[in-house]
Amino acid sequence: MASTDQRLPLTILCGKGGVGKTTLSLALALRAALRGENALVVTSHPLQELAVSISLAGLKERFPQAIAHLFVLHIDPREILSNTVRQHIPSDFLAEAVVSSRIYQSLIEVAPGLKELAFLGRLWNLAQQRAPETNERKFSLLIWDAPATGHFLQTLQVSKNFETYLSGPFAELGGSLRDFFASPDNFALIPITTLEEMAVEETLDLVRALGNELGIQPRRVICNLASPLLATGDSAAPHGISTLASVAAADISLQFILSRQRVEQSLFERLRSTIRADYHIVTRHAARQTDLDLLLAIAEEMEGLPGN
């Protein structure tokens, strides 16, 4: 197994809601776990909600060696802040009174960037953790399954300017986060998009905002749920499409497939002409018997990722 320090400390999958960030995050982590590497997915979804959307049922029975290396964590910033308060108040009674008070609850909600700082601080801490027996990073692969675009940008902006809000320990943490996210050697940012007009537009806006406001550029863009024709590559696609086109005149289904492929190709070229990054295409998959089968199929397409 390769040294964990050969990978960047953090991989961020971001993009519009519904483009498949969580599924791709789990597929990447599962691929690493099957190789015996510790992989952690940090998700913005409560675990009960995540289990409803996609299930890892059957993993222990089919791949017992992987189950010990795959971790999924939901970070609740409110819980982190409450625990911080409890640690600094010696009386359990007083600490509980503080965290239960309306003033404290209101402060958490209205203080600019406080919940985001707590979340990023925990994420940063996980990226720094080392295994005592090897002094290598505890998690060979740490993936942040980021929230939808607006919340994601708001969270990252905290890493840049939280020092202006408060002083003391929180400001010191803000400085550490600023330094961490200022270095491209610390993380791989990978926008996910489907080849739909709205998703592509949001991806372009996201990348512009990241570059203009935070100086962050993506390492790679993943086009998810794409046509298998698009994934054949520029050299093979024209021949395959022309062959299909000769048959499609008498087949409405094939006409639709070709029409859809042309739309995807146009949007794909728009992305490539605007965002300078490596690209990876993950194709649409037919229905699988289980979610685990789907994740395994996607994992096979994810070779070479993350791009670090």
Residue 55 maps to a domain: yes
The CATH number that applies at residue 104 is 3.40.50.300
Nearest to 14 by CA among 275, 203, 161, 196: 203
* Residue-level pLDDT, tens digit, the chain, 308 residues: 444 456 799 999 999 999 999 999 999 999 999 999 999 999 988 888 887 788 899 999 999 999 999 999 999 999 999 998 898 898 999 999 999 999 999 988 888 788 999 999 999 999 999 999 899 999 999 999 999 999 999 999 887 776 665 556 677 788 889 899 999 999 999 999 999 999 999 999 999 999 999 999 999 999 999 988 887 764 444 444 555 555 555 566 667 777 888 899 999 999 999 999 999 999 998 878 899 999 999 999 987 675 44
Cα–Cα distance, 35 to 119 (Å, whole number): 29
Residue 289 maps to a domain: yes
Q: Which domain holds residue 94?
A: 4-229+277-301
Tokens 């998700």, residue located? 43
Pairing of strands 141-145, 187-194: unpaired
Q: Do 225 and 194 meet the contact criterion of CB atoms below 8 Å apart?
A: yes
Residue 13 maps to a domain: yes
Our count of domains for the chain comes to: 1
3-state secondary structure of 143: strand
Residue 265 maps to a domain: no
Residue 188 maps to a domain: yes
Torsions phi, psi of 221, nearest 5?
-120, 130
Residue type, 72: V
Nearest to 225 by CA among 46, 24, 81, 6: 24
Cα–Cα distance, 78 to 158 (Å, whole number): 16
Q: Do 129 and 139 meet the contact criterion of CB atoms below 8 Å apart?
A: yes
Residue 243 maps to a domain: no
DSSP string, 221-234: EEEEEE-TTGGG-T
Residue 162 bridge partners (DSSP): none
Residue 270 maps to a domain: no
DSSP state of 219: S
Cα–Cα distance, 138 to 119 (Å, whole number): 19
Indicate whether this model's pTM tops 0.85.
yes
Residue 46 maps to a domain: yes
